[in-house]
A and B are shown apart, each in its own frame.
Chain A
Amino acid sequence: MIAKSYALFKKDFCSELRTRYAINSLAMFIIVAISVILFSIGNETITESLTGGLFWVVIFFTAMSGLARAFVSEEERGTSLTLQLIASPSTVFTGKLLFNVILVFCMNLIIAILYSALFERFVVQNFPLFMLTFVLGNIGLAVSSTIIAAIIAKAGAKGTLYPVLSFPILLPLILTCVQLTLFSFDGTSFEEAKFELAIVVGYDVIMLTASYMLFDFIWKD
């Protein structure tokens, strides 16, 4: 099944290289979002907690602008039926999830690099904790946004619906990740942050399981 999902991922990847639909708009979105924040801050130095919060705000909205593409593009072109004829639902979900996970990692890496270059207070004391938060948070973000993307692809008014549906689902993850990011700024040890880390791990695992169980219902007409 992994090989089949990988083939589907490669298809999406090649298709993305040819159409450049998501990459271009995502890159521009990151630049626009960060410059809006920089303009509104002006010359003031913002606090650590605000920097950590704004970091995840940009991540959330960037994800909302690009991750729906995985399913919406199939549905808009009418190829989801074709996909149903050549792959089982779990293969499709794995392939799409793989694509979104990689997309999320790439864009969040860019956001993190830009943040550490442009924001004075974006100073990570406990780097391993930050990396762990980053990885776990990205996985959770990718899983939830993939399953919500599958839902909105079947509905009308896709663009506006996506953040509306995703926000309540992502809220616990984002709140915990903001907290963990602040911990990593303060240099808090793993020992003290283990409760929050457990929550993020739990969120990832539960969302992944639920997504696989519920995807069949969404995918079949």
Chain B
Amino acid sequence: MSNYSIQSQKLSKLFGRRLIFKDINFLLEEKALFGISGPNGSGKSTLVKIIAGLVASSDGKIIHKNSAGEIIPEKLHNHIGFVSPYIVLYEEFSAWENLKIFAKIRGISLNEERVNNYLVRFLLDERKHDLVKTYSSGMKQRLKFIFALMHSPEVLLFDEPTSNLDEEGKTVVYDIIEEEGKIRIVIIASNEAKDLELCDEVLLLEKFKG
């Protein structure tokens, strides 16, 4: 639909002088369900953050492209939706206010219908006007999916998408992943076999230790 592509060229990352991974190459085009797996400390989150442009790589690069050409780092955040346990939303605001603030800071208008649909789907509709402070960790995790999906980005990055979720929540998330995987690039970093089963292709990070 948008000719969006992500290409990784000889990507390497060092923490200080310690090697995390090196020479990772892949190319994802238009739509994909791409998994990243590896033991704890193998750099799954780091790789996802590098793809999202949150962390700089030590060597090599990630190229995001759409039909208009290469996307500059300053604008990359507009094309990405990101879910992970280490993302924190503003606790002193309600879910609805959070989403409204995010839309404004992104400079887009809030698509109320779309957001309301998601709120219903993620079972948050009844409590959307409560402060996030009062939410359980599972509810916060579900809200993060709306945060990632609300601006219909071309790339979805899910780092441990099902952590903190109950069975009901997991089903919703799996549905969403399958749906979105048909129309855009979805990257999942996880150790759970069930998460990775959904993927067309899985990258094993322990193979890139050099």
Contact = CB atoms under 8 A, between A and B. Distances in A.
B193 to A, nearest CB: 27
Given A8-B105, A86-B105, A87-B77, A15 B90 contact: yes
B140 to A, nearest CB: 12
Contacts of B106: 4, 86-87
Interface in B3-24: none
Given A4-B105, A221-B54, A88 B92 contact: no
What secondary structure prevails in chain A residues at the interface with B?
Answer: helix
B115 interface: no
B107 A78 contact: no
A179 to B, nearest CB: 40
A198 B186 CA distance: 54
Contacts of A25: none
Contacts of B54: 81, 84-85, 220-221
A7 B99 CA distance: 12
B172 interface: no
B52 interface: yes
A220 B105 contact: no
A11 interface: yes
Interface residues of A, number: 27
Contacts, number: 70
B131 to A, nearest CB: 9
Contacts of A24: none
A83 B89 CA distance: 9
Contact of A3 (B55, B102, B107): B107
B91 interface: yes
B74 A79 contact: no
Contact of B77 (A15, A84, A95): A84
A19 B92 contact: yes
A220 B89 contact: no
A89 interface: yes
Interface residues of B, number: 25
A85 B101 contact: no
A8 B104 CA distance: 8
Interface string A20-45: 00000000000000000000000000
A14 interface: yes
Interface string A86-111: 11111100010000000000000000
A88 B87 CA distance: 17
Contacts of B86: 78, 81
B52 A85 contact: yes
A220 B77 contact: no
B65 to A, nearest CB: 19
B88 A88 contact: no
Interface of B: 49, 52, 54-56, 74-75, 77, 80, 82, 86-93, 101-102, 104-107, 147
Given A10-B104, A84-B77, 6 more contacts: A77-B90, A77-B91, A82-B90, A83-B105, A88-B74, A90-B74
